[in-house]
Structure 1
């Protein structure tokens, strides 16, 4: 009996010690050490030639254009900086992107970067601390899908004639054109500062250029404005760019927080935009465009400034062309669709599309470019809203006038959006 008790005590002690070891491993895995954070910051923040402190709290580093983090990507080790395509330079004074409401970035009030350098928003320890992990910092969350049997307004392919796989943690209200080979897209995007409700939520107004096979298998390049407190640490409206080659599973990121996008211009990706629009006041816009060149690179342009490009070596099908273009808004939140209560994170201005000019968020001068090399309004378009009672969309095409896309909404609004 004595021996039996000794054996039991030994087994219990062994179990307890194993449990403690396992707990320590889990805690270490989920909480990056100071050394890991320091190493990550060193990768993200390259040595600067000059530093500019913005009045909004951002620190802008002027980094040697040839020493930017884009070239840390394995596919870009021997990449040579690309020359700006002639068609982008030629369109500087003739592009449809001209706008009366000049919008600029807050940091520019405090200086500019010297020739041969590019402005990059510095990432700080507190930025990394908000991420779920160091590896996930700056990436769009992975898409989670649910089965939907509502075929009435479905934006996604029906499986076996019975249901569709629909993303449950993000929602969109947008205009789309599909079916051709697109080598460019642009629009003037109305700038607002919508409410963001929950800690992980974000909201965007943007353009997507995509290719692939449905919502689960696609690659895309994207740009516009967003409010994303988890990424940026505040609720300012900021200019952004994003890319992925595998539906946000493991590739790509916002701005330049991972290697890939090659910056050549004097616009800060992730920089705050000012001024913004207010209801029934002068409306502010940023003209945004993305354009393919003959080498398979995609160039990003805003306010007639070349920002940079996504290199062809980074992409797969998109290095040849895009198969769809989308214009509109997106809200990410864990509290969407079947989850209640619905998030109060707003899209656009926070007002529904029905408010139209001066009240709702809009996009105008929507254009695509195909192999004819001409910028034009797409021949076939359709509007789609995944949660029309929370966020809706209207393509107002009055006879003889340029169509204007309106979109947005407040989110939670019982009884329509409970």
Structure 2
């Protein structure tokens, strides 16, 4: 299907490997390294990693209000007073049903980051709790480019969690007690390769997060149903039962250096209307229901705080199911 908006063309392509869509993997796996039985690979943190953080306390943590939060009393309206520099282009499901997990296949790029303390990520959020209070529970996973955290500009697989709205609990990856890794072939925090190229081959990863109905732990798989590990149920308050909101999409930090909007890119660094091979995508969005079954979400909403900087366009077809294109360049003539 081809639609036109002015002179821009959006192409809805069917998923087909012959068209140049392939799975991305972690760089370290290409060397054939393996871990001894009973051990897991862990990315080594260096002194430089810690020194790039604002403080030892902030090392490995997100700022408050990293998730898109609805206003009090509404499941649909955006948070009008975030004020923390986090900007999103996301699809989300509100609080109309109980959710026990989510899945998506996520296009991988290497967006440009303007300054070291900004980041660009693409992820799934699993959320529950008070969206206007201090007890929001969040489970997150996807890929991110974060020079401050990793010391480079490579997209990396990451996890995150919090049980108090990003205040004191939680961290990235394995930088604090929380996420329990069980897989010896996956490195949380390791670089993903290859990455997608503009008008070239596209590479993506599949992330699935779901709640174990017996023990209550939240598991994550990466790629071809490879179990990476789990978040123990006791980490959380509200997520000990179920999630009330799921979000899929991109996020950047805008520090407004020199008084201008950041030029940190989201996704491919191009707007959603450019479509396949040019804009970044999430495809085959699914949720996990109370019966521990996957299904396509019946109704999703989309949100972007600054659509002149980063935007999103959702759609549906038989091959990619519920999907969307998203992203943008940040600073441009319409985004100052």
Counterpart mapping for 1:171-182 below 5 A: 171-179=87-95, 180-182=97-99
The alignment covers a number of residue pairs equal to 306
Q: What's the counterpart of residue 296 of structure 1?
A: 216
Please say if 1:157 is aligned against 2:71.
Answer: yes
Among candidates 380, 396, 403, match of residue 315 of structure 2: 396
Q: Please say if residues 395 and 406 of structure 1, whose CA atoms lie closer than 8 Å, have aligned partners that are also in contact.
A: yes
Q: What's the counterpart of residue 227 of structure 1?
A: 145
Instruction: Describe the shift of the 1:349–1:157 C-alpha distance in structure 2 as closer, same or farther (beyond 3 A).
Output: same
CA separation in 1, counterparts of 2:331 and 2:133?
A: 27
**TM value normalised by structure 2:** 0.86
CA separation in 2, counterparts of 1:215 and 1:381?
A: 21
Asked which structure has the greater CA Rg, the reply is 1
Q: What's the counterpart of residue 354 of structure 1?
A: 273
Query: CA deviation digits over 1:259-297, x for unaligned, max 9?
Result: 111110021110000000001112101000101012110
**Cα offset, 1:178, TM superposition:** 1.4
Instruction: Describe the shift of the 1:397–1:167 C-alpha distance in structure 2 as closer, same or farther (beyond 3 A).
Output: farther
**Cα offset, 1:321, TM superposition:** 0.7
CA separation in 2, counterparts of 1:268 and 1:137?
A: 19
Please say if 1:247 is aligned against 2:165.
Answer: yes
**Cα offset, 1:327, TM superposition:** 0.5
CA separation in 2, counterparts of 1:248 and 1:370?
A: 26
Q: What's the counterpart of residue 198 of structure 1?
A: 115
Q: Please say if residues 174 and 328 of structure 1, whose CA atoms lie closer than 8 Å, have aligned partners that are also in contact.
A: yes
Q: What's the counterpart of residue 326 of structure 2?
A: 407
CA separation in 1, counterparts of 2:40 and 2:292?
A: 30
Among candidates 298, 308, 311, match of residue 232 of structure 2: 311
CA separation in 2, counterparts of 1:231 and 1:412?
A: 23
Q: What's the counterpart of residue 246 of structure 2?
A: 325
The structure with higher relative contact order (CA 8 Å, sep 6+) is 2
Q: What's the counterpart of residue 136 of structure 1?
A: 58
Q: What's the counterpart of residue 200 of structure 2?
A: 281
Q: Please say if residues 158 and 164 of structure 1, whose CA atoms lie closer than 8 Å, have aligned partners that are also in contact.
A: no
CA separation in 2, counterparts of 1:280 and 1:400?
A: 21
**Cα offset, 1:373, TM superposition:** 2.4
**TM value normalised by structure 1:** 0.70
Q: Please say if residues 236 and 272 of structure 1, whose CA atoms lie closer than 8 Å, have aligned partners that are also in contact.
A: yes
CA separation in 2, counterparts of 1:109 and 1:399?
A: 33
Listed as ranges, the gaps of 5+ residues in structure 1 are 1-97, 145-153
Listed as ranges, the gaps of 5+ residues in structure 2 are 1-15, 74-78
Q: What's the counterpart of residue 3 of structure 2?
A: none
Instruction: Describe the shift of the 1:399–1:238 C-alpha distance in structure 2 as closer, same or farther (beyond 3 A).
Output: closer
Q: What's the counterpart of residue 108 of structure 1?
A: 29
SS at the partner of 1:118? coil
Among candidates 25, 44, 48, match of residue 122 of structure 1: 44
Instruction: Describe the shift of the 1:401–1:219 C-alpha distance in structure 2 as closer, same or farther (beyond 3 A).
Output: closer
CA separation in 1, counterparts of 2:205 and 2:320?
A: 21
Q: Please say if residues 219 and 231 of structure 2, whose CA atoms lie closer than 8 Å, have aligned partners that are also in contact.
A: yes
Please say if 1:210 is aligned against 2:131.
Answer: no
**Cα offset, 1:103, TM superposition:** 1.7
